Structure 1
């Protein structure tokens, strides 16, 4: 459940999935795969890929007792976990290898519906974000709390990534389950540049309100030193009327 404009991400107080990338425990995110061995290097991935190939071949024999089906499901779970973790950890080589082998992994999700794009966005891995977008990753993919990748980028002040997402069709006015827009999240931070970028966007609706009936300007006034940017923008808009 969402709380306020600065603590909405599911199971996290700071917009990051369980705050894992901040405490060094990269591989303890809730993926329904807690018993899976942590991804260390390409060798482990290669072994899993080889196992997947053998499993695919065994299906020709039929599945008499369910073992093949169970094994295939387990391998699929492993692959999903690998790309999610590699995206968060910044392992471009592994993400690329996994997508080459199975393009469907592009839209893999964990228990909270975070995708590889979400994870690479909030961790700040620009090159992986570019790779995923080049493969047509869904920029409007939503977590169970309604967070799209752009929300994560704005909450974590990832301005270069936010710009990339907007270039690739992200909705600047998308609202989470709690009514938060990317601007609400940026307004609550101390990052001037990302707030300026959003305020200059011609498609921005800065009057949308969150569940607390607050617009981004009100959020900024209460929690940020950058409130003056809203006043400057409003003055410019009035001059154009």
Structure 2
């Protein structure tokens, strides 16, 4: 087992990519903290893990709220005696241009997608240091480089997260903590389906998206979880400050913003 007896916090792990990361890490021997704002889905994933023999605990967590994050870290340490791995996965999206995005919407997206990883890292890193090192994995996005129309706040947050990844890697290297990012393109998740459903013609948009996929399909949650497993395991012990794009080469084909409107 590649993560035997490691303790991993996975934020936003009540569904989608986060859920699959938690289950993949659990199969590899890790003890899992399900840090999720949705109590129903978070509890279910935790129960599913425990039913399969994985040690897990659910902590209702709003990653944009400092006190909530502090309490999540405290529960993780109390329950498992330490933390080895943090996956900053929790994310939300609002599909609007700068002009149409309200300040409240902007702050909410930045709060979850960028302030959230900052807060979770701020309070988790000292605990990982106590264990002699470990791994932080930030879930970025191809939107930090190529994006679609009317999507201002999400790429802004993900671009900032990649910059934060590089900076944290410098600061945490002396503590033997590596910090990397995994950047999915289109992945079949509830969040992705929500994005498509907001478009005037979701079916046409999906067909257009497939045209940009050299491998003829969009990504799966398993694709992303396996990349995260590499960064969480000792196989990446000398890899830090990197952003791994997991997109089936799509980003090399996209030479302009996708015009779904």
TM-score scaled by length of structure 2:
0.28
Higher fraction of strand: 2
Higher fraction of helix: 1
Report the structure number with the largest CA radius of gyration: 1
Tell me which of the two structures has the higher relative contact order, counting C-alpha pairs closer than 8 angstroms and 6 or more residues apart: 2
TM-score scaled by length of structure 1:
0.30
